[in-house]
Amino acid sequence: MKPVSTATAFAVASLGIAAFSTMDALMKGLSIEMGAYNALLWRTLAGAVIGGLIFFARGNPWPGPQVARLHMLRGVLSAAMAILFFWGLARVPLAQGVALSFVAPLIALHLAAWLLKERIERQAILASLLGFAGVLVILSGQAQSDLGPEAFRGALAILASAGLYAYNIILMRQQALVAKPLEIAFFMSLIMSACFLVAAPVLAVVPTPPQVPALAGAALLAFVSLMLLSWAYARAEAQHLAPVEYTAFIWASILGLLVFAEPVRPLTLLGAGMIVAACIIAARRRPVSIAEMEAAL
């Protein structure tokens, strides 16, 4: 693998987050129109078809058992994570939903400590308390805006999704070290599609012609984003790339205002700032090596 600078990896990861944020906006609209399940079913199927055509056309070999296990684990986890996130995102403002998802690195901190049997340091505990306070600030702003009980349930679903994403953060770096970006993007779409197809006989609804371009666009953006992030995580440590996740709030604020006419409320900004600050404080602990992570999983 040709070495690249951390700045280059960070720039590529930033493009990946921008693509993912645009996909989020498309998926929010589709989730409102056809439900989160159908939006995800057809998006992942389209992604699997696009990825499969490229993957097999280039003659890529089938992954070995250990790599296939990682693909399977992350794919199943991502399916559950995605259905919770987009179900919630259909019920809360885009910027607010993305801000709530920022608690994932804090959860990952404690999850990694539990898996690696590490002692949780005092600053990690303080960071978690600050992050939790940020979540409460965002939820209080939601209550003041009188968005209704559906919005509160949506916020809880996004927080549950963030819990799953915390483990996904650990898997992402592991996966990027043993598989190429195209392989990761294809198998993620394939395994997620397989998960959603289980309920297809009962829940699937064929999309209308006007919905097809949005679904195709969301599939393409998700595929490109996965490839960009996989490329970046294979060339730089997660601790250096973690801050790029916070640029999603900028994109969510802009897209929420332009596409859904959702103003960014002051308490959402305050809460997001508290969560980001908490993650920065937590990131100052001793970094965990990938060898330690692999040994623990």
Residues of the chain with pLDDT under 70: 1-2, 109, 112-121, 124, 142-146, 237-240, 242, 282-297
Alpha-carbon span 53 to 165, nearest angstrom: 28
- HSE-CB for 122 with a 13 A CA cutoff: 0
The answer to whether 3 touches 236, Cβ cutoff 8 Å, is no
Place of tokens 């296990």: 69
The one-letter amino acid at 197: L
Q: In this predicted structure, what is the pLDDT of residue 286?
A: 47
Q: In this predicted structure, what is the pLDDT of residue 117?
A: 59
Q: In this predicted structure, what is the pLDDT of residue 1?
A: 61
Q: In this predicted structure, what is the pLDDT of residue 126?
A: 78
Q: In this predicted structure, what is the pLDDT of residue 259?
A: 92
Q: In this predicted structure, what is the pLDDT of residue 283?
A: 60
Q: Which residues of 252-270 are buried (b: 16+ CB within 10 A; e: fewer)?
A: bbebbeeeeebebbebbbb
